């Protein structure tokens, strides 16, 4: 059986999972590939730690350049994460004519266009299935299974850590901090967890998805982003009373002129499949003109699910190598000549449904003043509820709206804040209600 040498840089959560899968599932991988993947070298800063794997002598090294400069290694797996060193190792590998697999969405989102161009010009593969949605084959699905579709939208829960935190607060009533500690212990969180909770990680993934879905350059700087740290148990509870759950959603839509690309906490109706995705699980709905809606669901993070996605890329590349080496897949799913700059809609132009929570002074006329300002800005109230639960002289007033323009919403909330009857900053959560939008 023909052998293909691979090298891993970074034996942390994902790198260790890859090494384990290559050992434990080598027979099934070989039988599908028609060749043998040989882990020739693996680098990590710490090679003394027991990872529960029997590496062959000479495989482990602390020097990543021993891996990327090894002339016998054809496929490099970059699993260290981060920016500068990862980029240097990837570009050095590409220049040496090696194929590269990475799970590094932060690097792809920020330097992806440059790295993709470099790989295309050199004629090597650059694969990154694990960078979005863990084990869910969302990249392959858009690039291959949906090749015949004009894609209208991609909407997903793409961060396991945030979904885990929101689920734990809602179902177990534990604090944000405790839920984050648990997510860290499970290996879901990034080395810097603010990348997760502040929305960056989801925005990185959304930038990659918009590019492969619509044939545009990776446009991370244009993605609108809000994280989950401002979400309170009060909002989660009120959402539930109204038949919604709050999720950190990544939303990208293309209307033929411009793309929407936004990441923010979103209320989704409990009947929607996405709303029932709990814990660290991820899910993504893709809408195409031929397929209609389709959904993928799976582990969005963690050692073995992510390793599974990485090895699926390695097998794809190894198959091409065994078949003579031609690069079969366009890296960003469109042929390079068809990748355009598509404008991204400013957030002010978004037209959607809203939830507001005002902490209002409990005085006559307050509600009427708020409603009046909303009306002046073309914002129609669908539902309003005021509780009797007075804290520090204020009561929470909850509102759901019909569709409204984001620019008008911002102006209205600014004006309401100036009334002098809302001591705390109003809370705004956008609502995605696909069924209502269709009707």
Instruction: Name the 3-class secondary structure at 206.
Output: helix
- Which of ligand HSE, ligand NDP, none lies near 289, with the C-beta cut-off 5 to 8 A by kind? none
Report the nearest approach of ligand HSE to the CB of residue 198 (Å). 12
- Which of ligand HSE, ligand NDP, none lies near 159, with the C-beta cut-off 5 to 8 A by kind? ligand HSE
For residue 354, state whether it binds ligand HSE (rule: CB under 6 A): no
Q: Which of 190, 222, 313, 432 binds ligand HSE (CB under 6 A)?
A: 190
What radius of gyration, in Å, describes the C-alpha atoms of the chain?
Answer: 24
Handedness of CA 98, 333, 222, 138 (dihedral sign): negative
Nearer to ligand NDP, 215 or 302 (CB): 302
Instruction: Name the 3-class secondary structure at 43.
Output: strand
Output the DSSP codes for 389-400: --BTTEEEEEEE
Report the nearest approach of ligand NDP to the CB of residue 161 (Å). 9
Nearer to ligand HSE, 299 or 357 (CB): 299
CA distance 105 to 204: 6
Structure-token pair, residue 217: 């350059």
Question: How many other CB atoms are found less than 10 A from the CB of residue 56?
Answer: 9
Strands 75-78 and 36-43: unpaired
- Which of ligand NDP, ligand HSE, none lies near 191, with the C-beta cut-off 5 to 8 A by kind? ligand NDP
Report the nearest approach of ligand NDP to the CB of residue 94 (Å). 17
For residue 198, state whether it binds ligand HSE (rule: CB under 6 A): no
Burial of 389 (0-12, 13-18, 19+ CB in 10 A): exposed
Nearer to ligand NDP, 60 or 342 (CB): 60
Alpha-carbon dihedral 388, 394, 398, 401, rounded to 10 degrees: 140
- Which of ligand HSE, ligand NDP, none lies near 9, with the C-beta cut-off 5 to 8 A by kind? ligand NDP
Q: Are 406 and 351 in contact (CB under 8 A)?
A: yes
Stretch that binds ligand NDP, among 33-41, 182-190, 396-404, 406-414 (CB under 6 A): 182-190
Structure-token pair, residue 89: 């190792």
Closest-CA residue to 70 (of 47, 49, 44, 89) = 89
Nearer to ligand NDP, 182 or 352 (CB): 182
Nearer to ligand NDP, 68 or 339 (CB): 68
Stretch that binds ligand NDP, among 80-88, 109-117, 226-234, 259-267 (CB under 6 A): 80-88
Tell me, residue by residue from 291 to 320, as one string, x for binding to ligand NDP by CB under 6 A and - for no binding. Answer: ----------xx---x--------------
- Which of ligand NDP, ligand HSE, none lies near 14, with the C-beta cut-off 5 to 8 A by kind? ligand NDP
For residue 64, state whether it binds ligand NDP (rule: CB under 6 A): yes
For residue 46, state whether it binds ligand NDP (rule: CB under 6 A): yes
Structure-token pair, residue 330: 């366009």
Stretch that binds ligand HSE, among 154-162, 174-182, 288-296, 407-415 (CB under 6 A): 154-162
- Which of ligand NDP, ligand HSE, none lies near 7, with the C-beta cut-off 5 to 8 A by kind? none
Report the nearest approach of ligand HSE to the CB of residue 305 (Å). 9
Q: Which residue has the tokens 């299935």?
A: 129
- In the complex, residue closest to ligand NDP by CB: 12
Buried b / exposed e across 394-406, counting CB within 10 Å, b at 16+? Answer: bbbbbbbbebbbb
Residue 118 backbone dihedrals phi, psi, to 5 degrees: -60, -45
DSSP lists the bridge partners of residue 3 as 36
Q: Which long-range contacts (CB under 8 A, 24 or more apart) does 374-382 make?
A: 374/399, 374/401, 374/412, 374/416, 376/412, 377/404, 377/408, 377/409, 377/411, 377/412, 377/415, 378/404, 378/405, 378/408, 379/354, 379/404, 379/408, 379/409, 379/412, 380/404, 382/353
For residue 159, state whether it binds ligand HSE (rule: CB under 6 A): yes
Nearer to ligand NDP, 11 or 259 (CB): 11
* Whether 205 is catalytic: yes
Strands 99-102 and 126-127: parallel
- Which of ligand HSE, ligand NDP, none lies near 13, with the C-beta cut-off 5 to 8 A by kind? ligand NDP
Question: How many other CB atoms are found less than 10 A from the CB of residue 337?
Answer: 7
Residues noted as catalytic: 205
Q: Given the rule CB under 6 A, which residues bind ligand NDP?
A: 9-15, 43-46, 64, 79-81, 85, 103-104, 130, 134, 187-188, 190-191, 301-302, 306
By CB under 6 A, name the binding residues for ligand HSE. Answer: 134, 159-161, 188-190, 196, 201, 300-301
């Amino acid at each position: 059986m023909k052998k293909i040498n691979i090298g891993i840089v970074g034996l942390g959560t994902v790198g260790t999972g890859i090494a384990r899968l290559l050992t434990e599932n080598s027979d099934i991988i070989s039988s599908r590939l028609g060749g043998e993947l040989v882990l020739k070298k693996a680098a990590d800063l710490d090679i003394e730690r027991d990872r529960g794997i029997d590496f062959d002598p000479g495989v482990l090294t602390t020097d990543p350049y021993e891996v990327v400069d090894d002339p016998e290694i054809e496929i490099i797996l970059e699993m260290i994460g981060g920016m500068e060193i990862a980029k240097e190792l990837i570009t050095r590998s590409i220049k040496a004519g090696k194929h590269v697999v990475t799970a590094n969405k932060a690097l792809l989102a920020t330097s992806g266009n440059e790295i993709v161009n470099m790989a295309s010009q050199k004629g090597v593969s650059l694969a990154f299935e694990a960078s979005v949605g863990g084990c869910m084959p969302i990249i392959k699905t858009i690039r291959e299974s949906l090749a015949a579709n004009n894609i209208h939208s991609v909407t997903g829960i793409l961060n396991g850590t945030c979904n885990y935190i929101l689920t734990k607060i809602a179902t177990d009533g534990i604090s944000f901090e405790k839920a984050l500690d648990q997510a860290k212990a499970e290996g879901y969180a990034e080395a810097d967890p603010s990348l997760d909770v502040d929305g960056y990680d989801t925005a990185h993934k959304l930038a990659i998805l918009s590019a492969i879905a619509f044939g545009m350059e990776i446009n991370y700087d244009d993605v609108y982003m809000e994280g989950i740290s401002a979400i309170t148990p009060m909002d989660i509870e009120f959402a539930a009373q109204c038949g919604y759950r709050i999720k950190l959603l990544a939303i990208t839509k293309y209307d033929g002129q411009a793309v929407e690309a936004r990441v923010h906490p979103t209320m989704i109706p409990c009947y929607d499949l996405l709303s029932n995705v709990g814990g660290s699980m991820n899910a993504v709905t893709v809408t195409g003109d031929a397929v209609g809606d389709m959904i993928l669901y799976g582990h969005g993070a963690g050692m073995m699910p992510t390793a599974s996605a990485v090895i699926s890329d390695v097998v794809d590349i190894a198959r091409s190598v065994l078949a003579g080496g031609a690069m079969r897949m366009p890296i960003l799913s469109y042929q390079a000549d068809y990748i355009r700059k598509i404008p991204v809609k400013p957030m002010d132009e978004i037209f959607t449904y809203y939830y507001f929570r005002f902490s209002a002074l409990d005085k006559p006329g307050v509600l009427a003043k708020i409603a009046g300002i909303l009306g002046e800005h073309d914002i129609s109230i669908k539902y309003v509820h005021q509780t009797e639960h007075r804290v520090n002289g204020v009561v929470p007033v909850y509102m759901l709206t019909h569709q409204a323009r984001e620019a008008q919403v911002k102006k209205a909330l600014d004006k309401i804040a100036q009334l002098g009857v809302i001591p705390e900053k109003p809370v705004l959560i956008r609502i995605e209600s696909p069924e209502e939008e269709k009707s």
